[in-house]
Structure 1
Amino acid sequence: MGVPQRTGVVPPGVRPPGPPVRGGAGAPRTPWWQQEGMISRALAVAGVGVTLIGVVMLLVLAAQAGFFGPVPRVVAGAMFSAALVGVGVRVFGRAGGRVGGISLAATGIAGAYLDVVAVTAIYGWLHPVVGLGVALAVAAGGVGLALRWQSQPLAVLVVAGAAVLSPFVTSELVLLAFLIVLQLTCVPVQLARDWPFLHAVRTVPVTLAALVAIAVAAVGDPAPGRTYWLLTAAVAIASIGLVGGFLMVRKRSGDMVAALAFALSTVPLLAAPALFERHSAALVAGIYAAALLAVAALSTAPKLRELVRIPGSIALVAAIAGSFALLEACVGITRVSTLPIALFLVALGFLGVAGQQCSRVTAAFGAAYTMVGAMAYFITVTPEALATQRIAQERMGISTALGAVLALAVIAAGVWCARRLPGMTRGGTDESTLFVVASIAGLYAVTAATVSIGIASGAADGFIIGHSAATIIWMAAATAALLFGLRNLSRSAAVAKLALGSGLLVTAAALAKLFLFDLATLDGLVRVAAFLIVGVLLLLAGTRYARAFAEAGASKRNSDDAPAN
């Protein structure tokens, strides 16, 4: 008779079958210096850097010291690079040879790229066009090998090694050209692979090099030819960034790194206007702004949006960069007195589109231009200038009058746009705040407009007449708001509340101006006219106000006395 077997019970001291338990409290931890992945990668990256520095020393420092001849140096560099690539390919195919093969191949390909740079820029053996073509082939071979091996580190090491060490081989425009080649070469690879680190190493070096070159040229006195070549380089960087970002983000909608790389590539061309005199700079900035804003606008038109399919992140970056370029153009074509006019016109355009499209982003651009325009206007038309006749006559005129009229248009467009945006509570606190701010800004703009027109007319009392007209307009606007609110008292309580509140606020402001400023500043018939007209408007508003509420009370009593059905 056999012994019965007990299932599911493990005798004490006997380890159950199965895989070993990992991560337990008593499991031994591998020391960091024995972790193959971390240490091997660190050693490989260090080896790539040190070896490439040696290649640069062979190509440049040996030439400066007179060691060997040009041909031995170039041939030695080419042979050494080819040998590294060959060994890397062999090592990669063996067990555990992935890290070593990638590092060796990356060193060899980057070294070959630096050899081509030296042959073109230092020795002049290749025409620049031919040299750039050969460099493009070398870089394409490197990233192609990385694509075949499915190795982002290989592509990053090739591009980073060549980009970081190229400035030690050459500089100026030749360096920019070779860095642009690296930026261009990576675009097809990133269409096939989502390699975010490759975005950084292909974009950051060329952007920094272009900015440094532009800064040096702007501070110094570069030749005209060099200036236009720098502009061409900036255009190439921006174009590659736009096309690459557009294609990549359209294929992978969540690729925000590609959108950031495009944003970075726009910076050199935004800085390029500093190379030119004022009107040429405004032309460059204006053309760039038109191109970028056209890209952004394609995403808003329904039919074009379906046809072109501009990704949202690319459209946003294009809109932001285009807005900066447009600001540069506005500054370039205007003076201090006319700058607010240009800024307010742009703000009107943005706010109009935002209101029609119900776009918060476009509204934000309009608000930003409004704020910048208001600050520029406030530099000239300060409260001191409005209150002092001598200063007003020195600073104010036709341009400030036109700026004030445009400011009023921007205020109206801003209120209309804000009320159309989703999320605005009708009759709530947000809308009340909006109307209060708009009322205050409108009062200031009206005063600036009337005083500027009075001064521009050339009349001896233009300043005084302008202030008198401002007070009358204030009170007329307040009366209109009160009458509008009373008319809507029984229709919409929220609208009536806003209108009556705004009207009473402006009425108080008009009376304060009348007694605190006009009484002391105005004289003669102008002061009499101001007091008479404001008084009549007050009587009209008060009479209509009392009658409206009396009618509302009578209507309520009649409804209460009516018999119930």
Structure 2
Amino acid sequence: MTHPSTPQPGAQQPAADDVPAGQSAAQPGHGQSTADQFTAGQPGQGRPQSTAQQPPYGQSPFAQPPYGQRPYAQPPYTPSPTLRERLSREGAGSRLLAWIGGAVTLLGVVLLLILAIQRGWLGPLPRVAVGAAFGGILVGAGAWLHRKPVARTGAFALVATGVATLYLDTVAATSLYDFLPVPAGLAVGLAIAVGGLLLAVKWDSSLLAIAVVGGCGVCAPLITWGFTGELVTFLLMIQIATVPVQLRRSWWPLSFTAAIPPLTTALIGVGLRTLPLWAVIAAGVVSAAAALVALRRNDNEPYSLSVLAVSPLPVLVAALVRDKPESVLLAGGAAVVLIATWTIVRGNSGTVAGIGGLVAAMQATVTQFDGGAVLLGEAVALAFAAKFARNRFALGGSLAFGVIGGLFALGSDVTPALLVLPHWHPRDLLFTALCSAALLLAAAIALPWAATRLNVVKSDSLAPWLPAGLCALYGAAGLVLAASMLVVPGRAGFLVGHTLVTVSWTVVAFVLLLRGIEVVALRITGLVLVAAAVAKLVLFDLAALDGLARVGAFLGAGVILLVAGARYARVVASR
């Protein structure tokens, strides 16, 4: 006897109208085979009806749960409300008034402390006691109001104002009145900030956490004796207090809010020359570490990525205003730390750290070395690193180092005057020009090679090879000419060098033409190099060279071109 709910073989499936409401007649994955799913959307093809009941979910490893129970079902996308919609909601006016009132109250506390100091009202100890009592009353009133759901907006504003008041009172007691030693004041300030953030976590209010951190960070500089190391330390205590919260909650703007005060204070203090070096380094290191901790939850989070990107800025700015040894040490140390982070940390956070490390390395190199030889060497090393690590950002850094290094080399080492005017040059200058020209040639070859290997550009594309070819020609000419004048000083070396340059161009063009039988880009580059060699013969060698040098250049280039043409024709004909 067959159960009434089991369909018989060959029985007709129920029509679409018989399907209960709320269910689709054909849902992919629910009573529908793979062939059915494929043919369901094909025009002109009928959909075959299933003749056997699908096994219940859980009996087969290939079975799928019902549509409503699938764990990967995504909720429908709801766009975020606009500012006008937020302000038009019920209760928006009361929340806005509460937070504005809290900000005004906090500013009033700061002004009261300043005015009490200026007018001599009360003594230092009563001022601190009154500030602590006022902050405690605000926190207590906020906790009492939080018991009623309708009053929680005011409770958040009161607690944020009270916590900020207590923190500022601690800063004043430590930095202004010396009631607390610095370690004790930092410990008390950290405890107050942690307490406010724990209350925000307990009440599940990211707005309260941001208000606590922002209020403390913005108002602390107003009651200290300038931008000092103690101020930076107090601001870093607030930032450190946010790290446990960032590990438990996805309150991404909190990391950005906590990083702005210490980094801004460090930059201003560097400009005013009022901050010790340890405070500047601490601001950068703590900000970068806090950002990396926050990025462990979400590597694509833009706020923490922004903090990580700007965290080396105070150190690099401090390096600009220091003497040369300290400047190189600061920028080089930042480069080593950031590039080491790049090699250890993967994803967007490692990439951002690596880009910052490359900027720091470039600053250290430009500060320490004159000319562009070292930058060109770093460009070659980065090109090989990009190819073997399959990292396009390293290739971008190689391009930046190569361009800037090439410009420095063109302006100071391998100048156009060196290649055109037959003057006598010192040996140390010629040796520097030789090294710079060789590295320029190497960078011009390594960069397009790495770009082709990484599929950044196509192998038959001329876009990277044309500028690279021009740089390679210039570097090769400088290399041959500097080497010739090192061996034969004066005008004789200049003439011999240009003869060898012309002949070498024709030889390289012949090699490129032979290799370019299968590769269009190499063939076109070879033809362009032939045209460049002929143009140099007619426009420069004919006028600048004389005697045997002129004859040698023309005879050498002509014979090589004749042999190359005959050989190239034979190779093409034999294919």
Decide whether the 8 Å contact of 1:59 with 1:115 is kept in 2.
no
Equivalent of 2:355 in 311, 317, 320: 320
- Equivalents in 2 of 1:450, 1:443: separation in Å? 11
Residue 389 of structure 2 is aligned to residue 389 of structure 1: no
Per the alignment, do residues 184 and 391 of structure 1 end up closer, same or farther by CA in structure 2, a change over 3 Å counting? farther
Specify the alignment match of 1:282 in structure 2: 328
Residue 465 of structure 2 is aligned to residue 419 of structure 1: no
The one-character-per-residue Cα deviations of 1:132-162 (angstroms, maximum 9, x if unpaired) are 1111111111111111111111111111111
Following superposition, the deviation at residue 423 of structure 1 comes to 5.2
Equivalent of 1:533 in 546, 551, 556: 556
TM-score when normalising by structure 1: 0.82
- Equivalents in 2 of 1:34, 1:372: separation in Å? 54
Specify the alignment match of 2:232 in structure 1: 176
- Equivalents in 2 of 1:62, 1:456: separation in Å? 77
Three-state SS of the structure 2 residue aligned to 1:238 is helix
Residue 283 of structure 2 is aligned to residue 237 of structure 1: yes
Equivalent of 1:460 in 483, 490, 499: 490
Bigger shift: residues 120-129 or 497-506 = 497-506
Equivalent of 1:347 in 376, 379, 403: 379
Equivalent of 1:476 in 493, 503, 507: 507
- Equivalents in 2 of 1:265, 1:386: separation in Å? 44
Residue 398 of structure 2 is aligned to residue 398 of structure 1: no
Within-5 A mapping of 1:165-244: 165-170=219-224, 171=226, 172-217=228-273, 229=276, 231-244=277-290
Following superposition, the deviation at residue 56 of structure 1 comes to 1.2
Q: What is the one-letter code of the residue matched to 2:257?
A: V
- Equivalents in 2 of 1:58, 1:211: separation in Å? 28
TM-score when normalising by structure 2: 0.81
Per the alignment, do residues 483 and 111 of structure 1 end up closer, same or farther by CA in structure 2, a change over 3 Å counting? same
Following superposition, the deviation at residue 84 of structure 1 comes to 0.5
Following superposition, the deviation at residue 391 of structure 1 comes to 9.4
Per the alignment, do residues 88 and 448 of structure 1 end up closer, same or farther by CA in structure 2, a change over 3 Å counting? same
Decide whether the 8 Å contact of 2:316 with 2:330 is kept in 1.
no
Residue 129 of structure 2 is aligned to residue 106 of structure 1: no
Specify the alignment match of 1:334 in structure 2: 369
Bigger shift: residues 255-264 or 511-520 = 255-264
What RMSD in Å do the two structures reach over aligned CA positions? 2.3
- Equivalents in 2 of 1:402, 1:34: separation in Å? 69
Residue 402 of structure 2 is aligned to residue 370 of structure 1: yes
The one-character-per-residue Cα deviations of 1:525-549 (angstroms, maximum 9, x if unpaired) are 2222212211110111121123234
Three-state SS of the structure 2 residue aligned to 1:243 is helix
Q: More helix per residue: 1 or 2?
A: 1
In structure 2, list runs of 5 or more residues that go unmatched: 1-83
Equivalent of 1:436 in 466, 478, 492: 466
Following superposition, the deviation at residue 185 of structure 1 comes to 1.0
- Equivalents in 1 of 2:259, 2:88: separation in Å? 36
Bigger shift: residues 401-410 or 411-420 = 411-420
Following superposition, the deviation at residue 370 of structure 1 comes to 0.8
Three-state SS of the structure 1 residue aligned to 2:148 is coil
Equivalent of 1:512 in 526, 532, 535: 535
Following superposition, the deviation at residue 80 of structure 1 comes to 0.5
- Equivalents in 2 of 1:391, 1:115: separation in Å? 73
Specify the alignment match of 1:50 in structure 2: 104
Following superposition, the deviation at residue 363 of structure 1 comes to 0.9
Q: What is the one-letter code of the residue matched to 1:527?
A: R
Three-state SS of the structure 1 residue aligned to 2:490 is coil
> Whose RCO is larger (CA < 8 A, sep 6+)?
1
Decide whether the 8 Å contact of 2:425 with 2:490 is kept in 1.
no
- Equivalents in 2 of 1:535, 1:31: separation in Å? 79
Following superposition, the deviation at residue 131 of structure 1 comes to 0.9
The one-character-per-residue Cα deviations of 1:404-431 (angstroms, maximum 9, x if unpaired) are 101111122113211211354333xx2x
The one-character-per-residue Cα deviations of 1:462-497 (angstroms, maximum 9, x if unpaired) are 322222221121111112222333xxx4xxx3x2x3
Decide whether the 8 Å contact of 1:358 with 1:422 is kept in 2.
no
Q: What is the one-letter code of the residue matched to 1:237?
A: A
Specify the alignment match of 2:53 in structure 1: none
- Equivalents in 1 of 2:310, 2:249: separation in Å? 21
Per the alignment, do residues 382 and 123 of structure 1 end up closer, same or farther by CA in structure 2, a change over 3 Å counting? same
Identity of aligned residues (%): 35
- Equivalents in 1 of 2:541, 2:101: separation in Å? 81
Decide whether the 8 Å contact of 2:305 with 2:349 is kept in 1.
yes
Decide whether the 8 Å contact of 1:242 with 1:262 is kept in 2.
yes
Three-state SS of the structure 1 residue aligned to 2:150 is coil
- Equivalents in 2 of 1:466, 1:297: separation in Å? 44
The one-character-per-residue Cα deviations of 1:296-316 (angstroms, maximum 9, x if unpaired) are 112xxxxxxxxxxx2411101
Three-state SS of the structure 2 residue aligned to 1:93 is coil
Per the alignment, do residues 197 and 515 of structure 1 end up closer, same or farther by CA in structure 2, a change over 3 Å counting? same
- Equivalents in 2 of 1:391, 1:318: separation in Å? 47
Per the alignment, do residues 35 and 440 of structure 1 end up closer, same or farther by CA in structure 2, a change over 3 Å counting? closer
Decide whether the 8 Å contact of 2:422 with 2:490 is kept in 1.
no
Q: What is the one-letter code of the residue matched to 1:107?
A: T
| Count of paired positions | 488
Following superposition, the deviation at residue 354 of structure 1 comes to 0.8
- Equivalents in 2 of 1:384, 1:132: separation in Å? 62
Following superposition, the deviation at residue 168 of structure 1 comes to 1.0
Q: What is the one-letter code of the residue matched to 1:148?
A: K
In structure 1, list runs of 5 or more residues that go unmatched: 1-29, 299-309, 553-565
Q: What is the one-letter code of the residue matched to 2:416?
A: P
